[in-house]
Structure 1
Amino acid sequence: MRKPFIIDPAFAVPLTPTQLHDLGVIAVVWGQIDFILDEIICHVHAFDHNQRATFVTDKQIAAKLDLLRSDYTRLPKRLHAGCADLIKRVAQIKQNRNSAFHGVWGWKWETRSKTRQVGAFHSRTKNNPLRPIQLAGMAEELISLSKLAGSIMADLHGMPFVTASQFTWGAEDSKGEPASWLRERYPTIQKGRSPTARRKRPRPPSPPKDEPR
């Protein structure tokens, strides 16, 4: 029987099922943040549906942050600190998000040090790849950002925060309690009250020893 390849493909994903799960959480929650940023921008600029499609929907996240950064002070003053925090933290994490989804997960052999690096290698961060150990912390930070963005959206639309937090994975019931499986994997997630007040975020936990770092 003929083999489909002359040699076996040299690609293998160096992530555990749990870390692949983290990537899925990052993808879903990033979509929530992207959507809510659109909502806030359209509120700031009073865009209608057609203007949203023209000026917002297809823009890269950096361009959306620039739009919001320049004019978020048009919003009620009580939301200024939350918007500034949202913009800053999304800007800080977006390159790691790009590495996670647009980079190549694999191994890199360092000939000089004779060591193996595991990570997501992206053209913009080729000398500093995203490590598997960072994924759980990224997921936690994005969930926190989704809750923050959701609280701003709730305020702008006049809806209870619990309603927004259910949309953004912040809660799974009317009491504002985060899902139990989320708390188990991401223990720094707090109960679903409005996160607009500044709080010190605990350091994400280290993964089990058998997970790639």
Structure 2
Amino acid sequence: MPELDVPTEQRRLFSTNIPYPYLPESVRRSDCRIIYICRNPLDTVVSSWHFLLEMARSEDQPGWSLEEHLETFCRGEVLFGPFWDHIMGYWKECLERPHKVLFLKYEDLKEDTIGQLKKVAKFVGLPFAEEEEEGGVIEETTKMCSLNTLKNLEVNRSGKLSPTNTVVEKRSFFRKGEVGDWVNHLTPSMVDRLNSSMHEKMSPFGLQFKTR
């Protein structure tokens, strides 16, 4: 993206899955704001399993069981590094520099979309004006950004991405988007294993999730 080398005073938005410690120092030490969005580990396991199965199907590759996926997840053998390290990297930075990192949970976004949107706008220095709130701008924005709206856009229904040699259908990024869908997939022993990891990795730092 050569345009990144062109200086500009305009605000720019970038999306990445890179763990916090591996972000360029120019990002970590600058005044740019970081918004980190994550999901409870139980739903994350199920969602990532379905996504990877879709990728395997698109390449005519065999899939794997949820049990196998859970094993690789718990061992940290997943895209962009171990889940626990990834999430805790941004959480700890949020605790130390809340003006730099805004830590959002998918469950909160689902439960209070308008409140979370207002929080994001304020964080980036662009709070909604009173006239915008009274004019329904926030509600319209949440509607535009809803899962159903994005899922039904033609570009996401039929479009494809080719980040590497792999072709990924954009529809693979959209499934149910429900909180608590893990109850339809995970066994009690799987839940116990993930809950144990959550308690060990996150509880000491005050990070908790709603799982239903």
Superposition TM-score tier, normalisation by shorter sequence: under 0.3
Choose 1 or 2 for highest CA Rg.
Answer: 1
TM-score, with structure 1 as normaliser: 0.27
Q: Which has the higher contact order (CA 8 A, sep 6+)?
A: 2
